[in-house]
Homo-oligomer: A and B are copies of this chain.
Amino acid sequence: PNADAYGAARERLRNQARPAGSLGILEEVGARLAGIFGTIDVRLDRKIVITCAGDHGICAEGVSRFPQKVTPQMVYNFVGGGASVSVLARHAGAEVRVADLGVDWDFAPDLPIYHKKVRKGTANFAAVPAMTREEAVRSIEAGIEIVDELTAEGPVHLIGTGDMGIGNTSPSTAIIAAYSNIPVPELTGRGTGIDDDGLRKKIAAIEKGLALHRPDPKDPVGVLEKVGGLEIGGLAGLVIGAAAHGIPVVCDGLIATAGALIACELAPSARPYLFAGHNSVEVGHRYMLEHLGLQPLLHLEFRLGEGTGAALAMTLMDAATRILAEIKTFAEVGINDAQ
Contact = CB atoms under 8 A, between A and B. Distances in A.
A18 B333 CA distance: 48
A182 interface: no
A23 interface: yes
A332 B315 CA distance: 28
**Considering the complex of A and B, which 9 residue pairs feature the smallest CB-CB distances, nearest first?**
A24-B301, A82-B328, A22-B304, A19-B192, A87-B326, A299-B299, A24-B300, A73-B335, A25-B300
A327 to B, nearest CB: 5
A306 B23 CA distance: 12
Contacts of A191: 19
Interface of A: 16-26, 66-67, 70, 73-74, 76-77, 80, 82-84, 86-88, 90-91, 191-193, 281, 297-304, 306, 308, 312, 315-316, 318-319, 322-323, 326-328, 332-335, 337-339
B90 A322 contact: yes
B323 A19 contact: no
Contacts of A301: 24-25
A339 B334 CA distance: 61
A319 B312 CA distance: 8
A193 B21 contact: yes
A130 B230 CA distance: 65
Contact of A17 (B18, B83, B323, B335): B83
Contacts of A21: 193, 303
A87 to B, nearest CB: 4
B193 A82 contact: no
A62 to B, nearest CB: 16
Nearest to A16: B84
Contact of A23 (B304, B315, B332, B338): B304
Contact of A323 (B80, B88, B193, B332): B88
12 contacts: A17-B77, A17-B83, A18-B84, A19-B192, A23-B84, A26-B300, A70-B338, A84-B327, A88-B322, A90-B326, A91-B318, A91-B319
A192 B83 contact: no
Contacts of A338: 66-67, 70, 73
A308 to B, nearest CB: 7
Nearest to A80: B333
Contacts of A88: 319, 322-323
Contacts of A299: 299
Contacts of A83: 17-18, 327-328, 333
A263 B190 CA distance: 40
A333 B17 contact: no
A18 B316 CA distance: 24
Question: Which of A16, A23, A73: most chain B CB closer than 10 A?
Answer: A23
Nearest to A337: B67
Given A18-B84, A25-B300, A301-B24, A312 B308 contact: no
Contacts of A298: 298
A333 B302 contact: no
Contacts of A24: 281, 300-303
